[in-house]
């Protein structure tokens, strides 16, 4: 089965991990800081905290934003459920706004209609690696007195109007799952510009520990002393995985270039296929394509999905609108809440896209899809 996405591991990655395994630090060591510093080069200098997953990054970011029970978080339903679940776990009410019909990104007009005085965060999702419309969403968040957050799980290395993802929102989260552009096996990160929110994020992901005597309540206990002033969790990403991530980040430009090349080839090969809509790209955006999401018209998406899979091509669907998961149904959310997101989901099909995809494999994908639809 040709997968829709997979990791790209080189000998340099293996050597980087092996070097850490032979050293003194498996976790909380120098590779963590090196990885965070390299990641900050891609966020325009905005400092980053590495964590154990993209989901952990969302949880940490919402905590850093001060999300509490009774707050509201406005976000897109066209995302993996973690974008909403991590806010709900903190007691927030998740408010789903509709999406733009071409990019699948959060629609600023829809979001503006749903913000209230209780809105704490507006969370955009860079669907498929295409940055959302951050200038318009910034205006929506500012008008509501809320923070703007970017779920950039798909879009590391992307730019919006010449500015890098990571520097566009108050908080930005990344994911380094194996199908993503850069992987640490499992892992994520939060980019935070504000120093107080950064400190809150860094403490929460490390049990809430306070180690600086100047900030401790009882600093005279001894050199071993550390305190917890607010509860946190262990979301530390170990040195072994940070070493892999650092090695991967050094090839991010090549990863992005190959993905862009594959997207351009898909555009050429599929432009005349009937009943197929190709992904859109804004002129002012430089995406990092994580997915190649086509739209299959005329109610044929399931047929095409099953026939592609039967042919050994691992097409995928991204995503079931988050509020249609039973956990949100049980909270009172109902189908039809976001008609454009549901229409997008009903037609979406992700084709294989990863740097190791060969031209011949891609041609097989395109020929199989064209054969089914023609």
CA atoms within 13 A on the CB side of 129: 24
Residues 272-294 as b/e (b if ≥16 CB within 10 A, e otherwise) read ebeebbebebbeebbbbbbbbbb
CA distance 94 to 128: 22
| Contact present, 64 and 171 (Cβ < 8 Å) | yes
Q: Which candidate in 120, 180, 236, 295 is catalytic?
A: 180
In the annotation, is 180 catalytic? Answer: yes
Place of tokens 């071993």: 224
**Residue 336 CB partners (closer than 8 Å, separation 6+):** 342
| Contact present, 276 and 297 (Cβ < 8 Å) | yes
Q: Any idea what DSSP says for residue 313?
A: B
Q: Strand pairing partners for 171?
A: 149, 192
Backbone angles phi, psi at 172, to 5 degrees: -135, 135
CA distance 249 to 214: 35
* Strand 285-286 versus strand 159-160 pairing type: antiparallel
Helix 252-270 to helix 239-249 angle (10° resolution) is 60
CA distance 127 to 129: 5
Q: Strands, DSSP E only, in 193-329?
A: 209-210, 227-228, 276-277, 285-286, 292-296
Neighbour order of strands in the sheet with 188-192: 48-51, 188-192, 171-175, 147-151, 119-125, 72-75, 93-96
Which amino acids are annotated catalytic? 180
């Amino acid at each position: 089965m040709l997968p829709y996405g997979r990791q790209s591991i080189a000998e340099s990655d293996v050597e980087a991990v092996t070097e850490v395994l032979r050293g003194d630090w498996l976790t909380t060591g120098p590779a963590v800081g090196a990885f965070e510093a390299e990641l900050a080069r891609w966020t325009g200098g905005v400092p980053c905290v590495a964590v154990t997953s993209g989901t952990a990054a969302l949880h940490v970011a919402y905590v850093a934003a001060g999300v509490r029970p009774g707050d509201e978080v406005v976000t897109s339903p066209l995302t993996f459920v973690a974008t909403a679940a991590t806010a709900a776990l903190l007691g927030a009410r998740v408010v789903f706004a509709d999406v733009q019909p071409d990019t699948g990104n959060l629609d600023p007009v829809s979001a503006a209609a749903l913000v209230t005085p209780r809105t704490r965060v507006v969370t955009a999702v860079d669907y498929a690696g295409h940055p959302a419309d951050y200038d318009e969403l910034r205006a929506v968040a500012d008008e509501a007195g809320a923070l703007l957050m970017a779920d950039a799980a798909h879009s590391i290395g992307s730019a919006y109007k010449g500015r890098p993802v990571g520097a566009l929102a108050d908080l930005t989260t990344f994911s380094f799952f194996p199908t993503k552009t850069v992987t640490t096996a499992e892992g994520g990160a939060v980019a935070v510009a504000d120093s107080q929110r950064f400190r809150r994020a860094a403490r929460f992901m490390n049990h809430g520990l306070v180690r600086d005597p100047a900030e401790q309540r009882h600093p005279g206990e001894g050199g071993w002393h550390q305190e917890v002033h607010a509860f946190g969790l262990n979301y530390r990403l170990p040195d072994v995985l940070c070493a892999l991530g650092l090695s991967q980040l050094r090839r991010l430009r090549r990863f992005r270039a190959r993905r862009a090349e594959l997207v351009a080839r898909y555009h050429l090969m599929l432009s005349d296929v009937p009943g197929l809509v190709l992904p859109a790209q804004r002129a002012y955006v430089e995406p990092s394509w994580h997915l190649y999401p086509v739209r299959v018209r005329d109610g044929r998406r399931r047929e095409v999905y099953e026939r592609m899979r039967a042919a050994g091509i691992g097409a995928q669907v991204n995503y079931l609108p988050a509020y249609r998961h039973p956990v949100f149904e049980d909270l009172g959310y109902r189908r039809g809440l976001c008609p454009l997101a549901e229409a997008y989901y009903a037609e979406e099909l992700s084709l294989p896209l990863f740097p190791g995809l060969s031209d011949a494999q891609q041609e097989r994908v395109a020929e199989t899809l064209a054969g089914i639809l023609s």
